[in-house]
Structure 1
Amino acid sequence: MKIQRISDALSIKRTVDGGTNEQLLAVKAIVENVKLDGDAAVKRYTERFDGVVLDSLLVTLDEIDEAYADMEDEMLAIIQEAASNIRSYHEQQLRPSWMTTAENGTILGQKVTPLDSVGVYVPGGTAAYPSSVLMNVIPAQVAGVERIVMVSPPGKNGKVPAAVLVAADMAGVKEIYKVGGAQAIAALAYGTETIKPVDKITGPGNIYVALAKREVYGDVDIDMIAGPSEIAILADSTARANEVAADLLSQAEHDERACSVLVTTCEELAQKVLVEVERQLVELPRRDIAAKAIENFGAIYIAADLNEAVETINQIAPEHLEIITENPMELLGRIRHAGAIFIGRYSSEPVGDYFAGTNHVLPTNGTARFSSPLSVEDFQKKSSVIVYSETALKENGQKIAAFARLEGLEAHARAIEARFK
């Protein structure tokens, strides 16, 4: 991580990873093999990549009971409260079907229908992510999805982490499978003897999961191709260096390719944050991961003023944005591109990750320029409703026929005129 003035910076770092050709070919082979061999292929890949031999892919009720027994009561209460906050927030996103009627009898509207089935991927690897369970499952439930399936890779003991199972059970998931990687995505998309296919797949994962989601897109829907985590902090002289550094590191510990950026108008703060990052890194359990992220994708930019700082933030279009300035709400309206915006000193990024209720599945790699956080709408589809009256068709029929003929589609025009012969 180094300090540079925005006027001297050649470009803003971004952590784009489209996968190597070798990775792409590997994913294609996995997907095709799961299509052909179903459960057998899934079990082979689970043994190969996770080192686990599975008799059954399904998580049993006994395993869920065991997971509850492994959790402290206090932690169970915290997960439950977080789930309640998330549900309350997402219930505000519900939009009903609607219709309008014109004087000539025309009725136009939109019918909102939940998806039939959704598959949720919850990553494993270096950490357990019960928060990802809640963030993906609860919006789908609020939307009205009847069948929600969860997949997550087993650990070396052949089990899904207790916290993940507890969160899934609390959220009401009835189908949970011990499957991870590209093979899990293929199983959700095309089905196996055990896992019935779904209509949409959501949830983050490693590069193989991301490539598999891209591979199956079109046969099923997906939420997004998520990249490494990002945070940008817009701060002035009122920000506290130790808090800013801690927030930068909160994302750096996710992944060696995570991106942590400070944009500030205060050179003194920039220098203090640089020192604080190095000091706090030493104390982190995941310091090796965080250190690589900070070294390769961390940066501190000094802006001439808040106008330049805001312009830079909009150029980055970060996944997470914190605004820690004297009057942060005054800047909110000028932020055009950010997945989630955290306002003020006490709105640290982990507040949104776990507990506030907003969704932490957010656009990365600058895609906040045109996309949004995961929401209830992602689990619904919309149908247009058209009821044209005889009066309306008589009023507009010749206009419609003329438009059709303009495009050279005579049958379209005659379909309208047939009503009046």
Structure 2
Amino acid sequence: MSTVMRSYLTVWRLPSAPVLLLSGFAGRLPSSMVPLALLLMVQEQTGSYAVAGGVSATYGIATALVAPVLGRLADRRSPRGVLLAQSALYPLLLTLAAIVVLVGSPVWALLAAAGAVGASTPLVSGTVRALWSRVDPRVRPTAYALDATATELVFVAGPSLVAVLALVASPSIALAVAGVLGVAGALGIATSAAMRAWVPASAQRRPLFATVTTPGMPRILLSGTALMLGIGALEVAVPAFADAAGAPGMSGLLLAVWALGSAGGGLWFGARMISATLPRQYRWGLLGVTVGLAPLAAVSSPWLLGVLLFLGGTAIAPTLTVQSSLVGSIAPASATTEAFTWLSTVSFGASAIGAAVGGALIETEFGVAGALVLATLAGALAVLVTLLPGRRPTAPTAPRRDVVHA
């Protein structure tokens, strides 16, 4: 058996690992399915891509704004209660949003409904990463790599599933399936042995932004913001590139190839023992992402773009793996869920802004190339942020409690 397979089998054999991986995958699918399903539903009802895009963006922004607040509550008590409450509320609000769209409600009602659904989205991503931060340190990097790879696959499977369901049934069916998957994933994590063993770390009341200002966190969040802004610009540039090349049907394939390259890179990286420090690995990972983005603006063939996306994508999941390892090592033991939800907030918010700015650039004289250059510049900015001077991270103030043992 290869060393790579042994590394991943070690993680898979952890008592709650299958639940965290499978339920985490299902619970994250709404993050890639609901915005697209809402966009298709609203566009179908209103005929306006502008309104549809605004509704989809409102969902993402609401998710991003509420997640850190819920993350702090989860750390103070337990993520279990938050997940159970969301599992009850989320399908109700998702159903309400579908009704609001289908009956032809005014724009303000569509935005309000999307915001409510976004705010109630189960806190799966931050919770799963917080649980991974409590496993045996010897297998933690490999666990983060599997988690990053699963997250990448979410953005392949989710939109593909929505496209198929919208074709054979309707976008509203896709929305319903997303809700079922999200609730199933949240309940799987909430009832797992790892969650039942969760013991909140004792901590004094902290200022609202204490976790964000923990030494080392501003650098990670700022570089992560730049990185996700670039990824958001690329996600909107690829479909526009395919359309301009006369092959609009290739947009989904190109994005899937990009994500598969990332997943492959993540699996390879997770089985490696790297001697360099985490900050140095992170910097090199961001540089790899930037180098992968740089040639895209000069490409005219969708087939060549696919090859370059696959190759460049191999740096993304490894970079996100190291990013998670850094957050897990920096965050206070009493604020791990909150720290990871801030990371999720950065991902949702920055990618939405990147998509919006990239889309606006595409409509100007700069065209698709402008959006791709923006993605490259954002990656370069992420690298520069890691070079800025700042306070060094300190050791956590309380010891971590492992809830999933090897």
TM bracket (short chain)? under 0.3
Structure number with greater CO (CA < 8 Å, separation at least 6) is 2
TM score, norm. by length of structure 1:
0.24
Higher relative helix content? 2
> Could you say which structure has the larger radius of gyration?
1
Higher relative strand content? 1
